[in-house]
Amino acid sequence: MENLKPFDGLHCETTATGTLLKHIGIELSEPMLFGLGEGLGFIYWKMKTMDFPFLGGRIKTDLLTQHICKNLGLELNVHETSSKVKA
């Protein structure tokens, strides 16, 4: 892509998606991308075998981008390959 200007984000998926959106003229903040992507949640997980509980909250990888596109009314085409050459 010519003249691609990267999105300045802290998270890998919002940075990649933010860069692609910015390229088509949609500039959103990273918190807005997480919101539109329905990407933040909450989990408190405590087991007897754990020294301390796990606190986390993020949805499965790639769902964030799918939700962002759905909520913005954009078409998303995903192409996957296991070929390093094609990638």
| Proportion of the chain above pLDDT 70, given as a percent | 99
* Domains in the chain: boundaries: 12-72
Please choose, from the candidates 41, 40, 32, 42, the residue with its C-alpha nearest in 3D space to the C-alpha of residue 68: 32
Residues 16-57 have pLDDT tens digits of: 999 999 999 999 999 999 999 999 888 888 999 999 998 888
- pLDDT at position 1 is 62
CA distances from 50 to 45, 54, 58 (A): 9, 8, 21
